[in-house]
Structure 1
Amino acid sequence: MVVGYKKDETLTPNQKLIAGVVSGVTTRFITQPLDVVKVRTQLQAQDKGLTWLGLSWRILKEEGLATFWHGHSLGQLHSIVSVASQFHAYEISTKFVENYASQYTSPQFKKVLLFMCGIFAGCASATLVSPIEVIRVRQMVGKAQYGGVIQGAREVYRGGGILAFYEGLTASLMQMGPQVGITFAVFRYVQPLVMDYVAYLEDAGQTEAEKKAAETKQLLISSSVAGSTAGFVSKTATYPFDLAKRRLQIASHKPDPNVKTPTMTQKLVKCRSLMSCLVDMVRKDGFTGLYTGWVVTIFKAQVTSVIIFTTYEMVCYAMRD
């Protein structure tokens, strides 16, 4: 059962919203340490010979285990709002396409409309979570300065006013729109293929009861493979905008001299505009500069996509039963 609206669906939009929330919370809890390492890799001016595993060890040695969970509370809120809004916006928009727009369009153009539904879901989500994300990213690089939600919001506002909460929004829209569109499109295409193939391999000699019992395993395998594929393709295609977004989100950050700043976050790479950010990356490190931190980002994206889609599908499956 693929994500998106289906005419024979038995779940209500609210039930699917619950599934989106559960998948978001689960995913954030598991991937939070990877997110901290990813953000540090993208923002810190560091030795090029230092791998993300080496960076992880340095964080553990110099700042302690708790550092990997800085920004986790906001991360959970971010996940709930981000994932739930993505799935909900996608459900609403695909329902419109299936019920109305498809009557006046060709099957080929319908695929384009479904891709646009993913872009719409990504943009809606990016706009909603921008203030949360700005505070969360700054907590990851300076927890003592940005503290809890209230203290973090106060520090962001003091540094750049209300617009500081939307630093990097343009890059975020250019990243999240296509990324979510590609993610859902690839997932919708790959999951049924894998599920049919797995069912075909196991079909011989099975009774109806055995086939029913095998559905959960088939759904788990197909969702994992499709989620992994979707995460790799979408994140790689849009990664330069993700990197620029992070550097834009700390544009107005100014270290507080009264607060101890970790040595590893004293020299951060900042940007003031999207275009200058991309140009500076290429000018300094060539084309590969656009993919600084790509390895840990892809690893995190793989883990995230597998967990988020698999959890979503399994929760929906459980509620249907």
Structure 2
Amino acid sequence: MISNKHPKMVGYSQEDSLSHSQKLIAGSVAGLVARFVIQPLDVLKLKTQLQKKMPEGKSLNLYSMTKKILTEEGITAFWQGHVIGQAHSILSSTSQFFIYEMTTQLIFSYSVDPKYKSFLEFMCGITAGSCCATLTIPLDVIRVRQVLVKQQYHGMLSGARAVYASGGILAFFEGWTASVLMLGPQVGITFSVFSLMQPMILSYLYKCNSICSHPKANAHKPEHLVLASSIAGSISGIVSKTITYPLDLAKRRLQIASHRPQERFQAPSTSRNLIKCTELIKCITDTVKVEGFFGLYRGLLVTVYKAQATSIVMFTTYEFVCFLLRK
């Protein structure tokens, strides 16, 4: 007789047979795959967020930006900063999933009123996001600058030296406040929405007629996990990114505060006339003054594409690797 119980896909579950080490592996693989797939979108997003408007008051659209990058730097430019990006993704996704699993295990090992479940999952997500932001911000600063001027920040070690030379040890933590304020709620919203949506979708997919005596007997089919995770991941990515986007924009402009272009390193046209910030609140208020309220959402479209792709690929890969490890 097949049990109708199946392990909770993300977060702690007593029925889950996977160890923390196995979930670390799943998180690492999810990060690797997601980073490779979304890297070109990330390059477009960064350059869109940081470039000043042209004299006529217009910004480059995605097509024009893509064309300029291809013409001036070649197709490999879309994977600039990819190696550091991979290290960032492994550390980011692994720490997010691991800390989320650990905190949910700690909380739900006690008797918890079901009505507080969603709120507690959200708080666990905030904890995971805040820890992740602190761990990954130095790599993120190097990666952002490497995308802008690869020669100046070439390689991880030389890039780190260049960042240090620009502003000392504190330069590695430029944008940290915005990153924590953004990633905490963002991860909390992402996991909460995903945890809400995925079981609903799975319940719909596993709905049986009167002949079926075990409604969830096929709950472990990989194609169902992929579909449910893709839809839930897509929705959670859009919701979380849209809510926290102004902080994302400010973070990128803060991360290049100490960056100084050097004549011996030729910067492409898409990496010139950059918008820099030194203070979070002033960055947001100045953006509204100069670009209007919707200036806080410049680059949102490509960010939504990126968020969808990242959430779908990361959650789906994570779930599928967990499925394979359970087998």
TM-score category of the 2 structures, normalised to the smaller one: over 0.9
- State the Cα distance separating 1:222 from its structure 2 match: 0.5
Match of 1:278 in 2: 284
Q: 1:213 to 1:174 in 2, by over 3 A?
A: closer
Match of 1:85 in 2: 95
- State the Cα distance separating 1:69 from its structure 2 match: 0.7
| One-letter amino acid matched to 2:164 | Y
- State the Cα distance separating 1:107 from its structure 2 match: 2.5
Question: Aligned ranges for residues 132-281 of structure 1 at < 5 Å?
Answer: 132-200=139-207, 212=218, 215-281=221-287
- State the Cα distance separating 1:280 from its structure 2 match: 0.7
1:30 matched to 2:46? no
Root-mean-square deviation (Å)? 1.7
TM-score normalised by structure 1 residue count: 0.95
Three-state SS of the structure 1 residue aligned to 2:152 is helix
- State the Cα distance separating 1:61 from its structure 2 match: 1.1
Q: Unpaired runs of 5+ in structure 1?
A: none
Match of 1:76 in 2: 86
- State the Cα distance separating 1:58 from its structure 2 match: 1.2
In structure 2, C-alpha distance between the alignment counterparts of 1:207 and 1:106, rounded to whole Å: 30
Match of 1:59 in 2: 69
- State the Cα distance separating 1:199 from its structure 2 match: 1.5
In structure 2, C-alpha distance between the alignment counterparts of 1:69 and 1:295, rounded to whole Å: 20
In structure 2, C-alpha distance between the alignment counterparts of 1:30 and 1:148, rounded to whole Å: 21
Q: Deviations over 1:148-181 (max 9, x none)?
A: 0111001100110000000000000010000000
1:127 matched to 2:145? no
Aligned structure 1 segments of 4 or more residues deviating by more than 4 angstroms: 202-208
In structure 2, C-alpha distance between the alignment counterparts of 1:171 and 1:56, rounded to whole Å: 28
Three-state SS of the structure 1 residue aligned to 2:206 is helix
The structure carrying a bigger helix percent of its residues is 1
Q: 1:203 to 1:246 in 2, by over 3 A?
A: farther
TM-score normalised by structure 2 residue count: 0.93
In structure 1, C-alpha distance between the alignment counterparts of 2:220 and 2:256, rounded to whole Å: 49
- State the Cα distance separating 1:98 from its structure 2 match: 0.6
Q: Report percent identity of matched pairs.
A: 50
In structure 2, C-alpha distance between the alignment counterparts of 1:203 and 1:85, rounded to whole Å: 41
Q: 1:10 aligns with which of 12, 17, 35?
A: 17
- State the Cα distance separating 1:266 from its structure 2 match: 1.7
Aligned length: 316
In structure 2, C-alpha distance between the alignment counterparts of 1:106 and 1:198, rounded to whole Å: 28
Three-state SS of the structure 2 residue aligned to 1:144 is coil
